[in-house]
Structure 1
Amino acid sequence: MILQALVRYYQRMVEREAKGIAGYGYSPEKISYEIVLAPDGTVQAVNDIRDTTGKKPQPRLLDVPQPEKRTVGIKPNFLWDKTSYVLGVSATSKRTDKEHEAFKVFHEEALAGTQDEGLQALLAFLRRWSPDQFQAPLFLEEMLDANLVFRLGDERRHLHEREAAQAVRARLLGDESAEEGAQPISASSAICLVSGEVAPIARLHPPIKGVNGAQSSGASLVSFNLDAFTSYCKSQGDNAPISEQAAFAYTSVLNYLLRRGPDNRQRQQVGDTSVVFWAEAAGGEVDAQAAENFLASLLMPPDDDSEAERLRTVLDGLSKGRPLAELDPGLASGTRMYVLGLAPNASRLSVRYWQADTLEVFAKRLAEHAQDLRIEPLPWRVEPTVYRLLLATVPNREGAKPKTDDAFDNLIGETMRAILSGGLYPRSLLANTVMRIRSDGNLSGMRAAICKGVLTRERRRGIHTSDEEIPVSLDKQSTLPGYQLGRLFAVLEYVQRCALGGQVNATIRDRYYGAASATPAAIFPVLLRNTQNHLGKLRKERPGQAVTLEREIRDIVEGLPDRFPRSLKIEGQGSFAIGYYHQSHTHFTKRDATGDAAEHTETETEGAL
């Protein structure tokens, strides 16, 4: 189904002549220089055609005959290649003589009998060229190992764009199929799993480039290269029969989707997974483009405040059951959406997740995700991406921002799959977050939101770890032991701050949070005894505040069981974090309202990540 959807998308892109999508047998490749030939094969000029709009010149993407898939063998490309093949010179290759000879022999055979002036000029060039001629001023050392194309005289098109060259290319593609056998059904011609038609089968599929962490030369989504994969006398691509045209189509459009650049909103990087998505709309490309832009905004919320507010309004409406078409009439809710996550795996690619559904279904799942995470006070200005969300699960390093490289790749993948499919968040997401809070003492709003999101979704899916819903904002009536203990811990810390002011080197959160959230019975009696000393000081200095805080402690303790729990399970520790977050921010809000300097926590800077 993945390959079928990709091939359909490729066909639509070709029909509308989309930039960056080449026809069968061609592909966009990075080209740096062009050699201008005279009709007799002499070199008139060597032009640098790289893009110089940025700080550093970059190769230009040109549609050229699709490159050969090279491993260790020597295989020249048609009418273009790197300098070791075209000119017999290289800064790295140790077999330039063999590569250049292969390039000459291949073109002598392919272009034999041609009457085209440009192709004859190329043959004449190859016959008279010697690597010793690679000298300034025409040829510079910076050209070594760059890709080259050819052009005839003052013509604007390159040799591979000439009609005669395209005819030769089509013949070569046909010859390759004929060499494998043109019988209706044979070892190399079979029913294509993608199109359902009998066609020559691709033994090797073109490489897919652009997946982070994969080989720079490209990796394969479908490949068989060991004897262990041979069965029923079938080897390589015959094990999964896909026609050459279908293999070309799906790899071409995947390379297009994976292209890098600020103009590509159909590609997202989430941890080690490169995520691409596309739309298939009955209403045409306008509806498809609108759907792709909308999904891109959902997955990567905009920084613009007005756009972020508009997106939040749509998500809130969806969470309340309103249809997408009513919230945004410019979107066709029935548009089919496809999301594919690819991760590197040596010379191959692994599919981390594959989701296909309508735009409205995806929008509702993302709205549900936002609703599950929602916690008051809201710790972000813009809805967090999965990237920002997973940053909360990695350790805080003193003087440095957390990096997603420290996050577990499988955790990132499972979390993204849960968001897209609407399934349960991985339990390890809660466990890792709780563990990080206990280890570094940083209870940010993002971490509290993760705890709340995991527990809320489990309850929504029928896993009742408690008899109550997880509160969004401060709930003084809650009877969840973990939540109430978190509230109590926040009040005790606040009492300490009020009594000692700026003289506190380390609060009880810095010293006791981990133990208090895991083994309350061992810690809270000690904390309550110490709190009496702080309250005694407050009674002398601010008796009114002391009375208020004593009442607050008493109300929370009365809602707890007769004895403090000996231990809290992981969900209880998550509730503890949520209760602490709610209660501590209530204190900060009160202090702001009275004009006192508020104590700022990590939560208030979380939105800056």
Structure 2
Amino acid sequence: MNLLSALAAAYDRLPHAPPYGYSSEKIGFCVILNPDGTVAEVADLRGTDKKRSPRIMQVPAAVKRAVNIAPNFLWDKSAYVLGVAGEGAKRVDEVHAAFCARHRDWLDGTTDEGLVAFLRFLDAWRPDAFAALGQEDIRDANIVFRLGSERGFLHDRPAARALWRRIGAEGASNPQTCLLTAEKAPVARLHPSVKGVWGGQSSGSSLVSFNLDAFTSYGHEQGDNAPVSEAATFAYTTALNLFLSDKHHRLQIGDTSTVFWAEAEESAAAEAESLFAGFFDTAPTREDIAAIEATLAQKVGEKLGAIREGKPLVQILPDLAGARFHVLGLAPNAARLSVRFYWDSTFGQLVANYQRFLADMALDPPPRDGWPPLWRYLVELAVQGKRENVPPLIAGEWMRAILTGGRYPMTLLSTTLMRVRSDGEVNAYRAAILKSVLKRNLSMEAPVALDPANQNKGYILGRLFAVYEEVQRAALGGHVNATIKDKFYGAASATPQKVFRTLDAGSQNHFSKLRKLSAGRAVNLEKLLTSITDLMEPGNDPIPSSLSAAEQALFGIGYYHQRSDFFRKRDEADPEGSPVTDASA
């Protein structure tokens, strides 16, 4: 099943999806009309939260517009409906005139009381009467209408729905065979916009479009190049827009807006989707999880723990093992959307690939905050630790590799090494990333915990660097403006031969001071230093002139392991133990 077919099939299973020809839009206000077309009042439909969020409402489907003027049926922005807009708006008079003219044409001959009142409003309304409404916030908001004597909106009246169906049928093109349904039906020349992708245009972007001659085939224009019926187009875009607007089906991973859905009975699908969110986000459940099932939060937490322990899904949730699961990653690309990845397989396969990812990232000591979300790892690759600075493409490529069980992007290794050399920070997140790439891409054995017998020269030098740093800390305490890590980490991990002689010479001065402060501590550190150097290959100069990228990664892992070992909680009976400090992250 391809992406568009899967989304169109998902539409049929969504209980609250708008019917064909309608879309869910953010509506801020309702103009309440008297039968003679005068304005009775303006009702504020926004929520009572701090942001005064608009109400999501099903209205006749929004038309697709960029620079063109095209009114919506019985609702629209204030510029179209009232002829008023915020400061700097252009063509306000034009769009309002088009709204009025188009509706007079659409509603010509109607006898419905509500629609007649609306026509009278269009004839009587003047933009200079806006101040009398007393609703300054209505500027640029979406507006609907209601007849004062009734509770329903004008667009929901039976006469309006019948008219909207007729309008849609009149605009249909000649029927062709739909690529998604294999049925003959009118083809969509333009596909509706997809909204809600992070970084995309606020008016929406196109997932499918043909707007240049270079994109055409055999002289076909626009949607005729890849015929998809109006109904199928509506189904897939509606489902995708609902997923993007629903935190139950969406995650933001770097610059990639990730939506996911399961093909299963409603409660089972909710559980699978909650588990997936727990794989890659901070919390395994949602704030309003009780609305789905009272005990789902506890169930998801227990199942997630079992999955992270490595138990097969068939033992935990046998009914979900064979359920189809879909994950789609989208990123903005000018007025279009890029599909960073689309994965479609069984939930059992997804869990197996996720458990492999956990095995790749396993590290001791682990991050102190428990199981980190994927975005927390990505932040370690960003300048100044800001999520908006995460390098483009990495998030999507890494997520695709996790889902498919494939190779990680090598830029993950190079970017992590670059950030470590830049700021000298080697924490649990970065060490785990380095280890995972070595293990999956290069089939190298990278130790999970401190390995005193490991003879890889990068790992040995990383441990040795951590010992030199500890000697300095023990001798000088916190009275150091810049540690050897601050000064030398980048050079030591890339060209160690130039640095380690200097570090060894400096350590002799630090040992002299340390012997006066704590002779036992000095002896222990000297023994550790000797045990590490004994692992080096014999020769005139066992320290290499340079290290490869893989060896630099092992340098970072060795440094992290040895440094963390100094700060582990020691038995109180050990008088030479380091301070009880958690430096795992």
Q: So what's the TM-score if we normalise by structure 1?
A: 0.88
Alpha-carbon distance between aligned partners in 2 of 1:368 and 1:347, rounded to the nearest angstrom: 37
Q: Among residues 149, 159, 162, which one is paired with 1:164 in the alignment? A: 159
Are 2:314 and 1:325 equivalent residues in the alignment?
yes
Aligned-pair CA distance for 1:387? 1.0
2:370 corresponding residue in structure 1: 382
Alpha-carbon distance between aligned partners in 2 of 1:313 and 1:33, rounded to the nearest angstrom: 46
Alpha-carbon distance between aligned partners in 2 of 1:90 and 1:302, rounded to the nearest angstrom: 41
Are 2:137 and 1:149 equivalent residues in the alignment?
no
Q: Judging changes above 3 Å, is the alpha-carbon distance between structure 1 residues 35 and 515 closer, same or farther for their aligned structure 2 residues?
A: closer
One-letter identity of the residue aligned with 1:33 = F
Q: Judging changes above 3 Å, is the alpha-carbon distance between structure 1 residues 439 and 32 closer, same or farther for their aligned structure 2 residues?
A: closer
1:254-333 map, 5 Å: 254-259=240-245, 264-281=247-264, 284-302=265-283, 310=302, 313-318=305-310, 322-328=311-317, 332-333=320-321
Q: Judging changes above 3 Å, is the alpha-carbon distance between structure 1 residues 418 and 134 closer, same or farther for their aligned structure 2 residues?
A: same
Q: Among residues 551, 556, 569, which one is paired with 2:548 in the alignment? A: 569
Are 2:563 and 1:584 equivalent residues in the alignment?
yes
One-letter identity of the residue aligned with 1:36 = I
Alpha-carbon distance between aligned partners in 2 of 1:4 and 1:248, rounded to the nearest angstrom: 12
Alpha-carbon distance between aligned partners in 2 of 1:419 and 1:486, rounded to the nearest angstrom: 28
Give CA-to-partner distance per residue, 1:144-199, whole Å, 9 cap, x none: 3322212122211011111111111111111111xx33xxxxxxx32111111111
**SS at 1:10 equivalent:** helix
Q: Are the counterparts in 2 of residues 370 and 383 from structure 1 also a CA contact under 8 Å?
A: no
One-letter identity of the residue aligned with 2:508 = Q
Give CA-to-partner distance per residue, 1:375-425, whole Å, 9 cap, x none: 1111232212221101112344xxxxx102222111222222222221122
Q: Judging changes above 3 Å, is the alpha-carbon distance between structure 1 residues 84 and 544 closer, same or farther for their aligned structure 2 residues?
A: closer
Q: Judging changes above 3 Å, is the alpha-carbon distance between structure 1 residues 225 and 501 closer, same or farther for their aligned structure 2 residues?
A: same
Aligned-pair CA distance for 1:256? 0.6
Aligned-pair CA distance for 1:309? 7.6
State the number of aligned residues.
Answer: 567
Alpha-carbon distance between aligned partners in 1 of 2:65 and 2:515, rounded to the nearest angstrom: 81
Q: Are the counterparts in 1 of residues 178 and 187 from structure 2 also a CA contact under 8 Å?
A: yes
One-letter identity of the residue aligned with 2:525 = L
Q: Judging changes above 3 Å, is the alpha-carbon distance between structure 1 residues 529 and 154 closer, same or farther for their aligned structure 2 residues?
A: same
Q: Among residues 389, 399, 413, which one is paired with 1:416 in the alignment? A: 399
1:186 corresponding residue in structure 2: none
- Where has structure 1 moved over 6 Å in runs of 4 or more? 303-309
1:2 corresponding residue in structure 2: 3
**SS at 2:504 equivalent:** helix
Aligned-pair CA distance for 1:599? 7.5
One-letter identity of the residue aligned with 2:226 = A
Q: Are the counterparts in 2 of residues 41 and 124 from structure 1 also a CA contact under 8 Å?
A: yes
One-letter identity of the residue aligned with 2:25 = E
One-letter identity of the residue aligned with 2:192 = P
Aligned-pair CA distance for 1:27? 0.7
Are 2:57 and 1:62 equivalent residues in the alignment?
yes
Alpha-carbon distance between aligned partners in 1 of 2:93 and 2:518, rounded to the nearest angstrom: 90
2:501 corresponding residue in structure 1: 525
1:371 corresponding residue in structure 2: 359
Alpha-carbon distance between aligned partners in 2 of 1:220 and 1:534, rounded to the nearest angstrom: 64
Alpha-carbon distance between aligned partners in 1 of 2:485 and 2:361, rounded to the nearest angstrom: 24
1:399 corresponding residue in structure 2: none
Aligned-pair CA distance for 1:293? 1.0
Q: Judging changes above 3 Å, is the alpha-carbon distance between structure 1 residues 498 and 130 closer, same or farther for their aligned structure 2 residues?
A: closer
Aligned-pair CA distance for 1:62? 1.3
Q: Are the counterparts in 2 of residues 303 and 382 from structure 1 also a CA contact under 8 Å?
A: no
Q: Are the counterparts in 1 of residues 568 and 580 from structure 2 also a CA contact under 8 Å?
A: no
One-letter identity of the residue aligned with 1:434 = L
Q: Are the counterparts in 1 of residues 28 and 54 from structure 2 also a CA contact under 8 Å?
A: yes
Give CA-to-partner distance per residue, 1:498-557, whole Å, 9 cap, x none: 233343333322222222211222222332233233334444553333332222222211
1:330-369 map, 5 Å: 332-369=320-357
Are 2:105 and 1:122 equivalent residues in the alignment?
no
Are 2:420 and 1:437 equivalent residues in the alignment?
yes
Q: Among residues 219, 222, 226, which one is paired with 1:240 in the alignment? A: 226
Aligned-pair CA distance for 1:306? 8.9
Q: Are the counterparts in 2 of residues 31 and 147 from structure 1 also a CA contact under 8 Å?
A: yes
One-letter identity of the residue aligned with 1:440 = D
Aligned-pair CA distance for 1:99? 2.4
Q: Judging changes above 3 Å, is the alpha-carbon distance between structure 1 residues 516 and 103 closer, same or farther for their aligned structure 2 residues?
A: closer
**SS at 2:567 equivalent:** helix
Alpha-carbon distance between aligned partners in 2 of 1:308 and 1:393, rounded to the nearest angstrom: 30
Q: Judging changes above 3 Å, is the alpha-carbon distance between structure 1 residues 311 and 575 closer, same or farther for their aligned structure 2 residues?
A: farther
Q: Judging changes above 3 Å, is the alpha-carbon distance between structure 1 residues 501 and 117 closer, same or farther for their aligned structure 2 residues?
A: closer
Q: Judging changes above 3 Å, is the alpha-carbon distance between structure 1 residues 120 and 486 closer, same or farther for their aligned structure 2 residues?
A: same
Alpha-carbon distance between aligned partners in 2 of 1:309 and 1:119, rounded to the nearest angstrom: 52
1:504 corresponding residue in structure 2: 480
Unaligned runs of 5+ in 1: 182-188, 397-401
Q: Judging changes above 3 Å, is the alpha-carbon distance between structure 1 residues 591 and 500 closer, same or farther for their aligned structure 2 residues?
A: farther
Alpha-carbon distance between aligned partners in 2 of 1:519 and 1:97, rounded to the nearest angstrom: 68
Alpha-carbon distance between aligned partners in 2 of 1:297 and 1:376, rounded to the nearest angstrom: 22
Q: Among residues 17, 42, 47, which one is paired with 2:38 in the alignment? A: 42
Q: Judging changes above 3 Å, is the alpha-carbon distance between structure 1 residues 445 and 56 closer, same or farther for their aligned structure 2 residues?
A: closer
Alpha-carbon distance between aligned partners in 1 of 2:91 and 2:283, rounded to the nearest angstrom: 51
Alpha-carbon distance between aligned partners in 2 of 1:388 and 1:452, rounded to the nearest angstrom: 16
1:423-462 map, 5 Å: 423-458=406-441
Aligned-pair CA distance for 1:312? 6.2
Q: Are the counterparts in 2 of residues 495 and 534 from structure 1 also a CA contact under 8 Å?
A: yes
Q: Judging changes above 3 Å, is the alpha-carbon distance between structure 1 residues 312 and 243 closer, same or farther for their aligned structure 2 residues?
A: closer
2:467 corresponding residue in structure 1: 491
1:185 corresponding residue in structure 2: none
One-letter identity of the residue aligned with 2:467 = V
**SS at 1:424 equivalent:** coil
Q: Judging changes above 3 Å, is the alpha-carbon distance between structure 1 residues 57 and 505 closer, same or farther for their aligned structure 2 residues?
A: closer
Q: Are the counterparts in 1 of residues 30 and 45 from structure 2 also a CA contact under 8 Å?
A: yes
Identity %: 48
Q: Judging changes above 3 Å, is the alpha-carbon distance between structure 1 residues 380 and 368 closer, same or farther for their aligned structure 2 residues?
A: farther
Alpha-carbon distance between aligned partners in 1 of 2:467 and 2:304, rounded to the nearest angstrom: 33
Alpha-carbon distance between aligned partners in 2 of 1:7 and 1:101, rounded to the nearest angstrom: 36
One-letter identity of the residue aligned with 1:35 = V
Q: Among residues 443, 451, 454, which one is paired with 1:478 in the alignment? A: 454
Alpha-carbon distance between aligned partners in 2 of 1:395 and 1:147, rounded to the nearest angstrom: 39
1:250 corresponding residue in structure 2: 236
Cα RMSD (Å) of the superposition?
Answer: 2.4
Aligned-pair CA distance for 1:311? 6.0
Q: Judging changes above 3 Å, is the alpha-carbon distance between structure 1 residues 598 and 395 closer, same or farther for their aligned structure 2 residues?
A: farther
One-letter identity of the residue aligned with 2:393 = N
One-letter identity of the residue aligned with 1:368 = R
Alpha-carbon distance between aligned partners in 1 of 2:193 and 2:558, rounded to the nearest angstrom: 51
Alpha-carbon distance between aligned partners in 2 of 1:560 and 1:360, rounded to the nearest angstrom: 45
One-letter identity of the residue aligned with 1:114 = T
Q: Are the counterparts in 1 of residues 471 and 511 from structure 2 also a CA contact under 8 Å?
A: yes
Name whichever of 559-568 and 548-557 sits farther off: 548-557
**SS at 2:328 equivalent:** strand
Unaligned runs of 5+ in 2: 286-296
Aligned-pair CA distance for 1:45? 2.4
Q: So what's the TM-score if we normalise by structure 2?
A: 0.91
Alpha-carbon distance between aligned partners in 2 of 1:78 and 1:169, rounded to the nearest angstrom: 8
**SS at 1:64 equivalent:** strand
